[in-house]
Amino acid sequence: MADHYDVLGVDRTATPEEIKKAYRRLARELHPDVNPSADASERFKDVTHAYDVLSDPQQRERYDLGPQPGFGGGGGGAGFGDIFDAFFGGGGGGQRQGPRSRRERGQDALLRLEVELDDIVFGTQRDIEVDTAVLCETCNGSCCAPGTSPQTCDICNGSGQIQRTVRSLLGNVMTSSPCGTCRGYGTVIPNPCPTCQGQGRVRARRTIPIDIPAGVDTGLRLQLPGQGEVGQAGGPNGDLYLEVKVKHHDTYSRDGDDLLATLEVQMADAILGTSTTLTGIDGEVELEIRPGTQSADVITVRDRGITKLRGTGRGDLKIGVQVVTPTKLSHKERELIEKFASGRKNQGPELSQFQQGLFGKLRDRFLNF
């Protein structure tokens, strides 16, 4: 067998970068897509195998130590790496590992999904477009050009492993390593699919229908099994994960399963009380303002919040009241206010007992709105 260094046309002192450059130059010249001749195909296999050995520092060291370099390898002096591999999982003792499958599971994918607050009250459905790997329709995942099929590797005879017997202090031992020509698959593809370049998959955009459950919140991840990338050579799909972000809403905010809102009430309505109809996320809300309502009072409307993600039922709608003091009064309005105030002269502003709850309501309202 030819020497690996001669095959690549480099010196034994060649650097890893020089070896890589030599391989790339020869691969462009001998690749079956460029040079379909049988001689070029055989040389391409030799060049690929030589590069696989010399580009790996450990394999190159073992190769340099061996007195009979070559593909199959005859007898030769074994280094400590060969002895260790032989007795501790390196394929020694004549044990052969079978060829590995080209089919691999596809990678999982993670996407950010923005949803409206309205959508999570009851949940919704949506179609999303994903740029991902899909099965190649030309070869249907076989990786081969139409009308062709993989061929048994003539270097490892389909085993996916290269074995050689080496001499050591402990006698002759058998070492095994993945075949550099077929990369451990046991087969080679002389005519790769022109559409996917022998990968069995291509990049494409596809539409995926998803169910957004009620009650999801920012940071929650939804898992869609089997909706990720298709694997190499038509392997099974990975999973798709959607990380939810709930968009800001101009009127409503969220506190767990409750919806929060601020209602501005005119001073006269706060004093006398009134009723009003509000536009809720899921329809109209009838609201009663009791006489004497104060700023920072919270009006609770039961079961008009968000449907609970876990459990049953809905949260509440909590409306914080903000009494609006008019800043511009007509002459008549001012007279009426002055007349009202004149009858309450003994009830001017004064300090009262500290109320922690009042400040808590104010703080919560301003933090959430």
153 annotated as a binding-site residue: yes
Q: What is the pLDDT of residues 145-157, one digit of tens each?
A: 999 999 999 888 8
144 annotated as a binding-site residue: no
Whether residue 108 sits in one domain with residue 239: yes
Q: Looking at 307-348, which runs of residues are DSSP E strands?
A: 317-324
Least confident of 167-171, 217-221, 355-359: 355-359
- In the Cβ-directed half-sphere of 85, how many Cα atoms lie within 13 Å? 23
Q: Provide the residue range defining the domain that includes 135.
A: 94-150+189-246
Count of domains for the chain: 2
- Predicted confidence at residue 79, as pLDDT, reads 43
- Predicted confidence at residue 48, as pLDDT, reads 83
Does residue 335 lie in a domain region? yes
Q: CA-to-CA distance for 146 and 189, rounded, in angstroms?
A: 12
- Report H helices in 113-174: 117-122
Does residue 54 lie in a domain region? no
Question: If you average pLDDT over every residue of the chain, what do you get?
Answer: 82
Whether residue 353 sits in one domain with residue 291: yes
182 annotated as a binding-site residue: yes
Q: What is the pTM of this model?
A: 0.61
Closest CA to 304 of 339, 268, 252: 252
143 annotated as a binding-site residue: no
Whether residue 279 sits in one domain with residue 234: no
CB 53 within 8 Å of CB 183: no
179 annotated as a binding-site residue: yes
Q: CA-to-CA distance for 83 and 170, rounded, in angstroms?
A: 8
Does residue 182 lie in a domain region? no
Q: CA-to-CA distance for 318 and 320, rounded, in angstroms?
A: 7
Neighbour tally for 13: CB within 10 Å: 7
- Predicted confidence at residue 261, as pLDDT, reads 92
Q: What is the pLDDT of residues 43-69, one digit of tens each?
A: 888 888 888 888 888 888 878 775 433
Among all chains, which residue has been given the structure tokens 């949803």?
115
Among all chains, which residue has been given the structure tokens 């020089």?
18
Pairing relation of β-strands 187-188 and 109-115?
unpaired
- Predicted confidence at residue 346, as pLDDT, reads 59
Q: CA-to-CA distance for 40 and 31, rounded, in angstroms?
A: 7
- Predicted confidence at residue 195, as pLDDT, reads 94
> For 83-86, which contacts have Cβ atoms below 8 Å and span 24 or more sequence positions?
83/168, 83/169, 83/170, 83/173, 85/175, 85/176, 85/177, 86/168, 86/173, 86/174, 86/175
Whether residue 258 sits in one domain with residue 327: yes
Q: How confident is the model at residue 105 (pLDDT cuts 50, 70, 90)?
A: very high
